[in-house]
Amino acid sequence: MNCIVKETSLPGKIGLISDIHATLSPLKEALAVFRQEGVECILCPGDIAGYGNELDECVDLLIKSKCRAISGNHEIWHLEKSVDRDDRTTSYFRRLPDVLDFTLEGKRVYMVHASPPQSFTDGIRLLDEQGKIIPQQKAYWTERLADFDYDILIVGHTHQIFCEKLGDMLVINPGSTKFNHSCAILTLPAMEFRLIALSNKTPLKAWNWGTGLRSE
């Protein structure tokens, strides 16, 4: 663990999935959409495990799709409970980096589960219960990330969907395939973000709202 993988280039059309939480159907649907859209690279900022009961099937599908994933807190917890195990899923989690750091089309991109530089639990929350931006939250995270010198930051963890400019950096959370019913496609260098609905449901902008909000 505690690994940062740096890339010098990745394809320009990126599929984004997050917080799969061991639930197969919306993951399969997202990957099918990516194939139809000609997505060249798939990224997942963690929390493949947790809540659902189809973890092995989800991991097998992620491996087959060549998804580039990183660890989330649920992967860390899984490994803490599986010290003596050597099954395919546990071995896969042991190989996951904590962070991806790459440059594409002149854009510097950083992916971490909760917040940079390497947090699994200190998540970026920008939305209220109705999915509207909370100005104080946006101001807090804009100031906190002011010295983080990247063009794009990709996160998960909070089960919120947003694509917001915080200072000079575009911060993206594609939402949970399971809880928010969403995935997304990011196209570079245009920096175009397209949200995609899953499970025949309207994407829920903020799920499990109300915990961990900043008062300043």
**Would you say residue 187 lies in a domain?**
yes
193 burial (CB, 10 Å; 0-12 / 13-18 / 19+) is middle
8 Å CB contact between 183 and 177: yes
**Would you say residue 29 lies in a domain?**
yes
**Would you say residue 58 lies in a domain?**
yes
**Would you say residue 179 lies in a domain?**
yes
**Would you say residue 63 lies in a domain?**
yes
55 burial (CB, 10 Å; 0-12 / 13-18 / 19+) is buried
Give the count of domains, the chain: 1
**Residue 6 above 70 pLDDT?**
no
- pTM assigned to the model: 0.92
Domain that holds residue 104: 4-197
**Would you say residue 216 lies in a domain?**
no
**Rg (the chain; Cα; Å):** 16
| CA–CA distances in Å: residue 25 to residues 31, 113, 121 | 10, 22, 26
**Would you say residue 55 lies in a domain?**
yes
Rounded percentage of the chain residues whose pLDDT exceeds 90: 84
pLDDT in tens, 96-129: 999 999 988 889 999 999 999 999 999 999 999 9
For residue 13, count other CB atoms closer than 10 A to its CB.
Answer: 16
pLDDT in tens, 29-55: 999 999 999 998 999 999 999 999 999
- Supply the mean pLDDT for the chain: 92
The model's confidence at residue 208, banded by pLDDT at 50, 70 and 90, is confident
Q: How many CA atoms lie within 13 A of 213 on its CB side?
A: 17
Q: How far apart are CA 88 and CA 135, in angstroms?
A: 44
Predicted confidence at residue 11, as pLDDT, reads: 60
Backbone dihedral region for residue 105 (phi beyond 0: left; psi -120 to 50: alpha; all else: beta): left
**Would you say residue 141 lies in a domain?**
yes
Q: What is the CATH classification number for the domain harbouring 70?
A: 3.60.21.10
**Residue 75 above 70 pLDDT?**
yes
Predicted confidence at residue 216, as pLDDT, reads: 29
Tokens of 72: 């989330």
